[in-house]
Structure 1
């Protein structure tokens, strides 16, 4: 049974990362066409003679990296008996999420006309929230380690 607080924090980090799939990172409108950057790529809506059309440019390396980070966070939930491994994977997750956020920001810079005039969506702030949840999980892991050490001293 999962009963440790760090499991809850890691699950919340996983949920926040899962939300990144559906929420836009940035939006920019130029000459009647709207470009929206999602975690999986760039979606551009433009008006043509036949109506509104969409163009989607996927970024496969970005998608693969995102899925790997989400899987690491999810698998780390079930390592509550191996606290040292859980802490190492949490630190690795923080580094990977930071790198992923930087990579997303460079991808946002590829919007037509640059980043000026772009509005950032809530998806741009979700990596920071996921890192916060993982840091709270590390605090929970450290608290468990102190509790076990004090219990062993009493024996």
Structure 2
């Protein structure tokens, strides 16, 4: 389970999502006030479901097809989270003042990259198992 590279990628995704929730605000104005934080219910729910999907995917290490499907679902969920961040940052009132977009906006993109790499590794494992089954 832990010796497979996709598990390492999935653990990195879980840490990225935890870091997004705990440490990185998304948008801060020039006075230091958090305009779009990660404590909003929608953002919290998406981050929580994403972390839960990663944990479930890691525990389903014997069912590679299910892992592949759950990773794709998690990729879609991260795109939704990215869309929420972009939408909220575009509709902020008082945007004539300079606001600072934090690294929190980029973390879902990094998470998507690691999920795609995990899917490639799962596909490679599945192809290897199928090739060995053909030899039997």
Query: What is the TM-score with the length of structure 1 in the denominator?
Result: 0.79
CA distance in 2 between partners of 1:115 and 1:67 (Å): 33
Q: What's the Cα RMSD here?
A: 1.7
Pairwise CA distance, 1:115: 7.2
- More strand by proportion, 1 or 2? 1
Match of 1:60 among 41, 45, 62: 41
Which blocks of at least 5 consecutive residues in structure 2 are unaligned? none
CA distance in 1 between partners of 2:78 and 2:112 (Å): 7
Pairwise CA distance, 1:107: 2.1
- More helix by proportion, 1 or 2? 2
Larger Rg: 1
Which blocks of at least 5 consecutive residues in structure 1 are unaligned? 41-58
Give 3-state SS (helix, strand or coil) of 1:34's partner: coil
Give 3-state SS (helix, strand or coil) of 2:33's partner: strand
Deviations 1:106-138 (A, max 9, x none): 222344412762222111110000000000000
Query: What is the TM-score with the length of structure 2 in the denominator?
Result: 0.89
After superposing on structure 2, the runs of 4+ consecutive aligned residues of structure 1 that deviate more than 4 Å are none
Larger mean CA deviation between 70-79 and 136-145 belongs to: 70-79
Pairwise CA distance, 1:27: 1.6
Closer, same or farther in 2 for the Cα pair 1:115/1:146, shift >3 Å? farther
